[in-house]
Amino acid sequence: MGRIEDKPSRRAFLGAGATMLVAGLTAGCEPGSAQPGRDAPAASAAVSPTGPHQAGITLPREAQPNLLVVVADVDDGAAVGPLLAELGEAVRTLAAGTDARLLGLPPGDLTVTIGVGPRLVRRADPSLPGTADLPQFSRERIDPRARGGDLMVQICAGDAVVPPIVAAALLGQAGDRLRERWRQSGRRGSTNPVNEGLTAPRNVFGFIDGIVGPHTTAQQQRDLWLTGPAPVAGGTIAVLRRMELDLPRFAALPVAAQEAVFGRRRDTGTPLSGGTIASDPDLGAKTPDGRYLVPADAHLRRAHSTAVGVGLMLRRSYTIDEPAPGLLFISFQNDIRTFTNTLTRMDNGDALLSFTTTTAGASFLVLPGFDERHPLGATLFR
C-alpha cells in the first residue's frame, strides 16, 4: 500500500553483529537501578530495540534522565527505505553494545526512537496517519529551520555521555543523505510515586508532570498505538515542542497562585478538587461561594481530555538550558487531533501558556517496530 519505490542503496547493511542482549523489558526509557554516585551505565538494564513497537515510548515506564533529539531532513535523492533500514540495523548493534562507534562505552539502558515527518509520509501514501503538519498556535517564535522536518531521532540513556555518541554514529551512518535541522538535549529530575508501578518527575516549574496518560494496556490500545492501516500498525504519532519558560515571573507568584495555574497542589500533585495524586479531578466541584476549586483557566481543566473531547496523550517533558531555560515537550498519541485540539483549547484561556514561548515544533509518524527479519521502515518504504 502506497510505498515509495526507492532505488537500491549503494551502502550495504551493517552486519547483524552479536546476539542481542536479552531484556525483560520490551520498549522505552528507564534509569534502571543506578543510584547517585554509582556507575550508572553499568547498573542500567539493557532494553531490547526490537519488537512490535519501537523502544523509547512506553516500557520501561520511567524515562531515562538524559535525552537528545535530532531533527533532520532527508536529501531528495536519497533512497528512504535503505536509509531507514541501515539506521535500524545500527540501532540494534549500538543497543547490543557490539558497535565500535560506542568507543568502548556500555550502552546501558539506551533506547532510540525514529519517526518520519509529514512530507515523507505523504510521499508514501497521502491517506496514512502522520501526513498533517502542525498548525501554528499562539505564543510561538519559531525559526523556519526549527519548524517541521523529515526525520526525528530520539535518544534516551541513563549515561549522559551516551546520547551524543549514538547521535554521531547514526548521523555518520546516514552521511550526506541527512541534513540536520536542530537538536536538543534535556534531562529529567527525580521521580515521585503516582500509582502502583507508576511514577512521574517534577517539571522545571516544580510540579509533578505526566500524571495522566494512557498507562494501562487498554488505554494504550485505545489512545496510543496505531492499529491500522497495516503499514503503520504498531506505530504512533509524536509531537515535539521546545519552549522557553518565564521562570522568574512564575517563581515570584505565591504558591497558591502557582497551584491555581496548574490546578494541582505543588507538593503532592493532588487536584485542587481533592483526592489523591491519581484521582480524576472533579471539574464541577465549587467552594461554598460558588468558585470552581479547579479554576476555569487552570491547565488541568483546559487540557483535560474529557473537557477537550479527545483521547489521552503520553506526555514527556525534559528540562533544557540551551538555547534558553525551558523544556522540551514530547507527546505520543494515535491521532494528531489529540494534541492539536488540546492546544487549541489551551490557546483559548490556559493560564500556563502566558509563561511559555514555543521556539521549535514538529510532528512525526513513529515507525512500527522492527527486528532482524523486518527492517525499520520496511512497511512503508522500499
Q: Provide, rounded to the nearest whole percent, the portion of the chain with pLDDT above 70.
A: 88
Q: How far is the C-alpha of 199 from the C-alpha of 210, rounded, in Å?
A: 9
**With 70 as the cut, is the pLDDT of residue 371 above it?**
yes
**With 80 as the cut, is the pLDDT of residue 27 above it?**
no
215 contacts 200 by C-beta, under 8 angstroms: no
Type of residue at 295: P
Confidence of residue 163 (pLDDT cuts 50, 70, 90): very high
Which of these, 49, 50, 59, 52, lies nearest to 28 by C-alpha position? 59
How far is Cα of residue 26 from the mean position of the Cα atoms in its chain?
17
pLDDT at 7: 41
What does the pLDDT look like over 97-134, one tens digit per residue? 999 999 999 999 999 999 999 999 999 999 999 999 99
pLDDT at 251: 98
pLDDT at 357: 98
124 contacts 131 by C-beta, under 8 angstroms: no
240 contacts 362 by C-beta, under 8 angstroms: yes
324 contacts 360 by C-beta, under 8 angstroms: no
What does the pLDDT look like over 183-235, one tens digit per residue? 999 999 888 999 888 899 999 999 999 999 999 999 999 999 999 999 999 99
**With 70 as the cut, is the pLDDT of residue 44 above it?**
yes
Bond into 323 cis (ω within 30): yes
Give mean pLDDT, residues 261-275: 98
Q: How far is the C-alpha of 166 from the C-alpha of 181, rounded, in Å?
A: 17
Which of these, 208, 368, 95, lies nearest to 199 by C-alpha position? 208
Per-chain mean pLDDT for the chain: 90
Q: How far is the C-alpha of 60 from the C-alpha of 63, rounded, in Å?
A: 7
pLDDT at 43: 56
Helix (H, G, I), strand (E, B) or coil at 350: coil
**With 60 as the cut, is the pLDDT of residue 34 above it?**
no
Residue 278, CB-side half-sphere exposure with 13 Å CA sphere: 10
Parallel/antiparallel/unpaired status of strands 111-116 and 356-366: antiparallel
pLDDT at 60: 65
65 contacts 31 by C-beta, under 8 angstroms: yes
pLDDT at 62: 80
217 contacts 262 by C-beta, under 8 angstroms: no
**With 80 as the cut, is the pLDDT of residue 21 above it?**
no
Among 72-76, 191-195, 246-250, which is the least confidently predicted range? Answer: 191-195
Among 55-64, 82-91, 214-223, which is the least confidently predicted range? Answer: 55-64
Q: Provide, rounded to the nearest whole percent, the portion of the chain with pLDDT above 90.
A: 84
Report residue 270: phi and psi, to 5°: -70, 145
